[in-house]
A and B are shown apart, each in its own frame.
Chain A
């Protein structure tokens, strides 16, 4: 099948191929502010689909090259999967609400993740020697949680812009309408709850893995590891914001929820920086005595 699809042609797909597609999508979405073009929406959808195809193929080929164990074998692939998830969500929303310019807000986040992927070292992959069900849950929930936090961030930014526009009585631009405040607020609330739940699952599964390792023959990650501490702090932050949102009625309204989701994203960015700099879950860590599964990438 690989040969049927033209392996040579597909193997030439690089990060810049789909980054270019998404950049074009972003430019076309921004152009909605300035002028009308009848076929633009169809072009946006087609280019995004082309980008998604290229990105999926790229990840699949990488996975093949890595022995086909799991899609997330390095920080580069982790960033690519998160950006792929966001691009898929963008496409679904864009198809359902073609009148709204979601790409202006989604694409910078997607492109930033691809840029991080370009900069990330792909040679040092995650440890693949010890994969368990717990480690799969750990990796998947943290990955999905990250997508959810990023989604909340995008919705939060859109909410603040829309709220500013409405507060200052600025009419919507013909081709550049944002979703309603109500829709954005609901989106913010849902992503806040979802990301809290997913990060909780990710953190708890990570704790279970580490406890198992500490109690067994393998060496676990020290509990004082910066990645673990910052992840726990992010989780506590999300728990606090969720309780705040649930118990304090004004917090459910308007801009507060948008600020909370944006703050969560900033918090997540810090945590990821700690995690990446701390080389959490890498082969390098494993060889120095701390063996961690590949899916622990998120903490």
Chain B
């Protein structure tokens, strides 16, 4: 029985290398199909994301499982690359290490941004795609289902995923959502058509924001952003009326001096009747004069304010890492114990059958003799059968108990091999 992973990730290879090896989602079924035709009897799951390309393979018979070289050849052949160019970059992990890696990956502990949520759905998707094509089997089922369970456990028992670490997500989830109960009835003003503004807008749209106005000096760029999102492009002259009407402002212009000064805002403030205004000033240099933040009812956040929170959240995530790693270790040990136990099952079954066969032969022989002598009643026959059963069980119990103990510790003492040799068990 063998489980292994061969591939590369962002820790060991650069993006150019990973791009050459990456599989598009529509390529995955075809790739797995080709792989399984080359290696029948091997279970396979292919995980290909922007940060990793990893092929998980498993087989009940270790000899069937492809070697590192064979997997390298497969990758090279599929992408039209030279196998020698990629061989050294693709690392192989087997057994416990492979399982630990899968658990760590699914729980997002191996991600570039530790705790990011996307990887779990990518692992799930990779497993489902392999399942749909019937490329999985008992070992990959067990290991991937355990990986999803471990990821869920870490998400529940640690705060690793609780804290957001991108500026737009912190701005919306940690602050805007603490300000507004709902967004579908709020007027949102986006000043400028910057990338950060677009990302923030996307988070707001996810929270059902609909009344969105985009103001930009170039109306074409505003229209372009509006067409990509859900906003309405407005000419620059609409800035003041929209500032009076807005509940939330996201500002990301490239202006080299503030576009809203304190005097300017005071005029606007009077017309707002002190209605609270939430401003995300994501521009550098800032679009809103900082003193506007001191005005009554104004909650002004600059990119530095949000970055400080992102950094703090990142540190908090790091503090959660040991706890998450402990869970991974415990779950890996548990999984391996189950896997090793499972490895011994066919051999134990064979040993029992062998012993049972001997018992049956000897019992039959003895019963025949006793029947001929007329010394065996119905009760005596039953007693003999029970006695033989007990004898076999008592003889097998100590070695099987020792084997079970050894399996829970990773079969490190080689008892299974000894058992095979001592009792001449064969595959």
Contacts and interface: CB of A to CB of B under 8 A. Distances in A.
A31 to B, nearest CB: 14
B274 A250 contact: yes
A166 interface: yes
A259 to B, nearest CB: 12
B313 interface: yes
Nearest to A251: B274
B159 interface: yes
A162 B180 CA distance: 12
Contacts of B293: 167
Contact of A182 (B157, B163, B179, B309): B179
B360 interface: no
B159 A174 contact: yes
A254 to B, nearest CB: 5
Listed residue (A38, A172, A177) with the most chain B CB atoms within 10 angstroms of its CB: A172
B178 A178 contact: yes
Contact of B301 (A169, A174, A178, A250): A169
B159 A254 contact: no
Contacts of A253: 273-276, 297
A102 B274 CA distance: 28
Contacts of B163: 174
A171 B293 CA distance: 17
Contacts of B170: 171
Given A169-B305, A171-B170, A254-B276, A162 B178 contact: yes
B313 A171 contact: yes
A172 B178 CA distance: 8
A180 B177 contact: yes
Interface residues of A, number: 24
Interface in A167-200: 167, 169, 171-172, 174, 177-183, 186
B274 A254 contact: yes
B181 A180 contact: yes
A38 B157 contact: yes
A167 B175 CA distance: 10
Interface string B297-324: 1010100010011001100000000000
B247 to A, nearest CB: 9
Contacts of B312: 171
Contacts of A180: 177-181
B34 interface: no
Given A38-B157, A250-B273, A169 B309 contact: yes
Contacts of A171: 170, 174-175, 309, 312-313
A169 B312 CA distance: 12
Contacts of B257: none
A148 to B, nearest CB: 21
B222 to A, nearest CB: 28
A185 B177 CA distance: 14
Nearest to A178: B178
A12 interface: no
Contacts of B36: none
Interface string B151-184: 0000011010011000000100011011111100
A36 interface: yes
Contact of B178 (A177, A255, A256): A177
A181 B179 contact: yes
Nearest to B306: A169
A250 B295 CA distance: 13
Contacts of B174: 171-172
Nearest to B174: A171
A293 B313 CA distance: 60
A249 interface: yes
A29 B315 CA distance: 25
Contacts of B181: 179-180, 182-183, 186
A108 to B, nearest CB: 23
A284 B384 CA distance: 96
Given A249-B273, A256-B274, 17 more contacts: A36-B159, A38-B157, A162-B178, A166-B299, A167-B293, A169-B175, A169-B301, A171-B175, A174-B162, A174-B163, A177-B178, A180-B181, A249-B274, A250-B273, A253-B297, A254-B276, A255-B296
Report the 8 A-B pairs with minimum CB-CB distance, sorted nearest first. Answer: A250-B274, A249-B273, A182-B181, A180-B181, A183-B181, A169-B305, A171-B309, A174-B162
Interface of A: 36, 38, 162, 165-167, 169, 171-172, 174, 177-183, 186, 249-250, 253-256
Interface of B: 156-157, 159, 162-163, 170, 174-175, 177-182, 273-276, 293, 296-297, 299, 301, 305, 308-309, 312-313
18 contacts: A162-B178, A166-B299, A167-B293, A167-B299, A169-B301, A169-B309, A171-B174, A171-B313, A177-B178, A180-B179, A180-B180, A180-B181, A181-B178, A182-B181, A250-B274, A253-B274, A253-B276, A256-B274
